[in-house]
A and B are shown apart, each in its own frame.
Chain A
Amino acid sequence: MRKSNCFLLYLAGNVLLLLFLFAHAFYQEIHAGPILKANSELVARLELSDLCLFTEASYTRHLTQTDLDTPFQDCPICLEHFPSGSILMPPEMLKRSYGKIN
């Protein structure tokens, strides 16, 4: 078999696989509808404000409830030391509300 045919076969295989994954994503999205609805209702019922992405520190567990001081709560010159704190950005609203208070 010519090398170009081999490559075209490889390309066609990849495209087919990609299309299959698209179909999988579409199916999963439809299938997840009731789960998302149930989670959204749970959020409403329990009045939750955040996703449970990180549990190591309060300011990354409840990202929207945090303030600028929380990451440095041990002492005023302590450095923030939880890995998730370096992954997430502080919420934009902190700048606004603190600007108003100060």
Chain B
Amino acid sequence: MLASVVFFTHAIKREGAITLKNAPEMIIQRSVAGRRDLIPVSYLDKIQKIRGVSSARCRLWGYYYDPVRGANYTLMVPEKSGYGPGSIVIGEGVSRTRHVYPGDYLGFSAFDGSMIMLQIRDVFSAESELVSSDLILMSEADFRKLFGIQEKEATDIVVRVRNPRELSAIAWKVSDQFPDTRIVLREEILRTYDSIFNWRGGMMVFFLGGTLLAFLIFAWDRASGLSQEEKREIGILKAIGWETSDVILMKFWEGLVISLSAFLAGTILAYCHVFFTHSFLFEPALKGWAVLYPAFKLIPFIDLYQVATLFFLTVVPYTVATIIPSWTAATIDPDTVMRA
């Protein structure tokens, strides 16, 4: 399980870092009463005039709860779209959940209760599910009609800058001019996904806690001494002429055989679990209450560091923990051990 968590989190992090390296440089959101609110389009002109800003545009996106399937979709208006009003492009997850395909119509319940029927023109490829599974692209006119958003409002503003080194200075200027805004920089997006599932997150605490507890119980068991059977075995070995060093060496090899077998089998099984069976053991925890769950296939990003970490977490502590009590037992008089 520990190896599965290590492989899974590392693969997600690497894939996230590569995929999101082209995320918007700066996103400006408006916050009202502690909640994100629509941003006035009038902000755009002032932001574009800030020195260092190469371009800025308003984004329109939001969520739509599908009462038919109980799934949540992300609705978005692309900057450039090959299709006009009345058409949508959907993610593979949406297609799978609703059993709809290019040419079909998908109905949306608008803010005023009316139904809007939009024709599916295309479906994103299954390979892009990690970013597009729940995505629905539509025209600006359809989006505004669906949610009743006025022309003078947008969801947020994305900004491109001439020199990436000026990002923080520009962010400071924006937040100075518009104190009701919150700024998200690309480096923060990348950092967020780099620290995703870190050790303080629920899943990691659960697995690491379980592993640590198991090891503590084992260490306690070993430290409290060997069983009578094991002591007798050591006593007999010493009685027939084995040296203390021979006993320790034998116990070392015994510990190594067990821990190395467990390490190899665990690593192989974890790899198969994460990269061949799509982490089916984690799926219930990751899926939660979601109806639409992306069926993405993770790319195996394995490096020596991960394998070495697993090796030192499993083989070394076990081997060390078996040697110490054996050394204690091997130094006792064999006659006393066998008579006990």
Using a CB–CB cutoff of 8 Å, the interface residues on chain A facing chain B are 7, 10-11, 14-15, 17-18, 21-22, 24-25, 28-29, 32, 35-36, 38-56, 58, 61-65, 67-70, 73, 82-84, 86-89, 91-93, 97, 100-101
Are B201 and A87 within 8 A (Cβ)? yes
Q: Give Cα distance in the complex from A39 to B132, angstroms.
A: 9
**Distance between B48 CB and nearest chain A CB, rounded to angstroms:** 16
Most B Cβ at <10 Å: residue of A18, A39, A84: A39
The residue of chain B having its C-beta at the shortest distance from the C-beta of A46 within the complex is B78
Are B286 and A28 within 8 A (Cβ)? no
Are A83 and B288 within 8 A (Cβ)? yes
Q: Does B177 contact A (CB under 8 A)?
A: no
Complex partner residue of B19 from A39, A47, A93, CB under 8 angstroms: A39
The residue of chain B having its C-beta at the shortest distance from the C-beta of A20 within the complex is B268
Q: Does B219 contact A (CB under 8 A)?
A: no
A-B residue pairs, 4 tightest by C-beta: A44-B22, A83-B288, A14-B264, A25-B300
A28/B299 contact (C-beta < 8 A), A38-B127, A61-B134, A91-B188 known? yes
A92/B192 contact (C-beta < 8 A), A43-B22, A49-B23 known? yes
A29-B301, A87-B201, A101-B182 given; 7 more Cβ-contact pairs under 8 Å: A25-B301, A29-B300, A32-B299, A55-B71, A88-B196, A89-B196, A92-B191
B197 proximity list for chain A (CB < 8 A): 87-89
The residue of chain A having its C-beta at the shortest distance from the C-beta of B198 within the complex is A89
Q: Give Cα distance in the complex from A16 to B198, angstroms.
A: 32
Task: Enumerate B292-333 residues with CB–CB distance to A below 8 Å.
Answer: 292-294, 299-302
**Distance between A70 CB and nearest chain B CB, rounded to angstroms:** 8
Most A Cβ at <10 Å: residue of B71, B76, B193: B193
Q: Give Cα distance in the complex from A82 to B285, angstroms.
A: 11
Are B93 and A52 within 8 A (Cβ)? yes
Are B132 and A42 within 8 A (Cβ)? yes
Are B288 and A84 within 8 A (Cβ)? yes
Please tell me which stretch of B24-32, B143-151, B240-248 contacts chain A, meaning at least 4 of its Cβ atoms lie within 8 angstroms of it. B24-32
Q: What 1/0 mask marks residues of chain B from 215 to 250 whose CB sits below 8 Å from any chain A CB?
A: 000000000000000000000000000000000000
Task: Enumerate B124-179 residues with CB–CB distance to A below 8 Å.
Answer: 124-125, 127-135, 137, 156, 158, 175, 179
A41/B271 contact (C-beta < 8 A), A52-B129, A83-B285 known? no
**Distance between B59 CB and nearest chain A CB, rounded to angstroms:** 6
B285 proximity list for chain A (CB < 8 A): 83, 87
B281 proximity list for chain A (CB < 8 A): none
A93/B34 contact (C-beta < 8 A), A11-B264, A44-B22 known? no
Complex partner residue of B289 from A64, A67, A83, CB under 8 angstroms: A83
The residue of chain B having its C-beta at the shortest distance from the C-beta of A44 within the complex is B22
Q: Give Cα distance in the complex from A6 to B332, angstroms.
A: 34
The residue of chain A having its C-beta at the shortest distance from the C-beta of B77 within the complex is A46
Complex partner residue of B16 from A15, A51, A55, A82, CB under 8 angstroms: A51
Complex partner residue of A51 from B124, B130, B293, CB under 8 angstroms: B130
Q: Does B280 contact A (CB under 8 A)?
A: no
**Distance between A5 CB and nearest chain B CB, rounded to angstroms:** 13
Complex partner residue of B261 from A11, A28, A48, A50, CB under 8 angstroms: A11
Q: Give Cα distance in the complex from A87 to B71, angstroms.
A: 20
Q: What 1/0 mask marks residues of chain B from 54 to 88 whose CB sits below 8 Å from any chain A CB?
A: 00000100010000000111101011100000000
Are A82 and B131 within 8 A (Cβ)? no
Are B184 and A93 within 8 A (Cβ)? yes
A52/B301 contact (C-beta < 8 A), A40-B21, A47-B79 known? no
**Distance between A101 CB and nearest chain B CB, rounded to angstroms:** 8
The residue of chain A having its C-beta at the shortest distance from the C-beta of B186 within the complex is A49
Are A63 and B15 within 8 A (Cβ)? no
The residue of chain B having its C-beta at the shortest distance from the C-beta of A56 within the complex is B290
A91/B271 contact (C-beta < 8 A), A36-B15, A55-B293 known? no
The residue of chain A having its C-beta at the shortest distance from the C-beta of B31 within the complex is A67
Are B35 and A69 within 8 A (Cβ)? yes
Complex partner residue of A69 from B34, B59, B129, B131, CB under 8 angstroms: B34
